[in-house]
Amino acid sequence: MAYDEEILRRARQRFDAARQERRATLESRRENAYRRQPRLREIDAELRKTSARTLSAALRQGGDPVRAVRELQKNNLDLQAEKKSLLAQLRLPIDYLTEQPACPLCQDSGYTDGHMCRCLRKLCAQEQQKELSKMLDLGNQSFESFSLRWYSDRADRKTGVSPRKNMEAIYASCLDYARKFGPDSGNLLFVGSTGLGKTFLSAAIAREVSSAGFSVVYDSAAHIFERFEAEKFDRGEENAGQDVSRVLRCDLLILDDLGTEMSSPFIKSALYRIVNTRLMERRSTILSTNLEPKKLSKYYSPQIASRIEGEYQIFPFFGDDIRQLRKENDGEPPF
């Protein structure tokens, strides 16, 4: 899992701010308790010195260091007992003046055993959800809210399969893909006209995969190619290189509306770079397009089309335009 630098920066900023807030709250509690019972301040100061004095006693030349250490330990226990008694008199819990980490796994460092802790990973997932929400309606577009009632159960003349039956199979495959997502999950190609659910299911997958802690980038093909162009020709646009890196390195890339951009040699080169790099590094990609597989070869190149057709699972979307049906039927499924 590789969150891009901006997502990680924002998550880390929230992480550090929460930790500082906890420390400020603890300091406020301490000052309140010290005002009510000044002896507590003296005890805490003595306890902070204990470890240094213990080490000094152990290294002291002459005398009996073991005996000195035992005396310091006894003094430490006496101070703790006195502190406990004073806190009880103030009707405060014994750990009232002690800093407690919010995460016992990483002790509020954000990392454990050299890996990002789940507490920081959760914040990264939340920040990523915010980023995805700029492009997608994640609040409504989910597997739970997807309805097959908008798809006709009448058999399609070309395929002999009804749009509803076709979508049942696509929905099941997408749900399985999202919930079992991991390394080597593979690549998907959504093909079909507008208004058939390609964006909806893309959003549902993005939501599920992102919530599981994987890095996801969702964007239109036109915008992504624009960022590649800005990086290539060094236009001085802020974060262009970072945006390109996100596209190439994220766990799941969802490239929407492929084929609606103006074709050019540079765009063909950029698409090949995206497809080939992610295949070589075994990073999963979902492409969504109105172009049929055969037209991909003409619009881009036989080489690109061959890579896609050979490495992507193809899902054909067909049926009536759902957006138009909603408009015509006041939001009620006609089937």
Q: Name residue 135's amino acid.
A: M
In which domain, by residue range, is 139 found?
135-328
For residues 174 and 276, membership in a common domain is answered with yes
Quote the CA–CA distance of 307 and 279 in Å, as a whole number: 9
Q: What pLDDT is stored for residue 53 in this prediction?
A: 63
Q: Rounded to whole angstroms, what are the CA distances from 124 to 14, 182, 285?
A: 10, 17, 20
pLDDT at 237: 63
Q: Is the pTM of this model over 0.85?
A: no
- Let me know whether 227 and 260 are in one domain: yes
pLDDT of residue 316: 94
Question: Letter for the amino acid at 59?
Answer: L
CATH number at residue 175: 3.40.50.300
Phi, psi of 6 (to 5 degrees): -70, -40
Give the residue ranges of the chain where pLDDT is below 50.
none
Q: How many helices (H) and strands (E) does the chain have?
A: 12, 7
Q: Are residues 52 and 176 in the same domain?
A: no
What is the DSSP pairing of strand 111-112 with strand 115-116?
antiparallel
Tally of domains within the chain: 2
Is residue 182 domain-shared with residue 310, that is, in the same domain? yes
Going by C-alpha positions, the residue among 21, 320, 2, 281 that lies closest to residue 156 is 320
164 shares its domain with 300: yes
The reported pLDDT for the residue numbered 69 is: 74
Is residue 270 assigned to a domain?
Answer: yes
- Amino acid in position 229: E
Residue 59: per-residue pLDDT:
58
Q: Is residue 222 part of a domain?
A: yes
**Predicted pLDDT at 136:** 67
Dist. CA 166–CA 177, nearest whole Å: 17
Q: Tell how far CA 185 is from the center of its chain.
A: 17
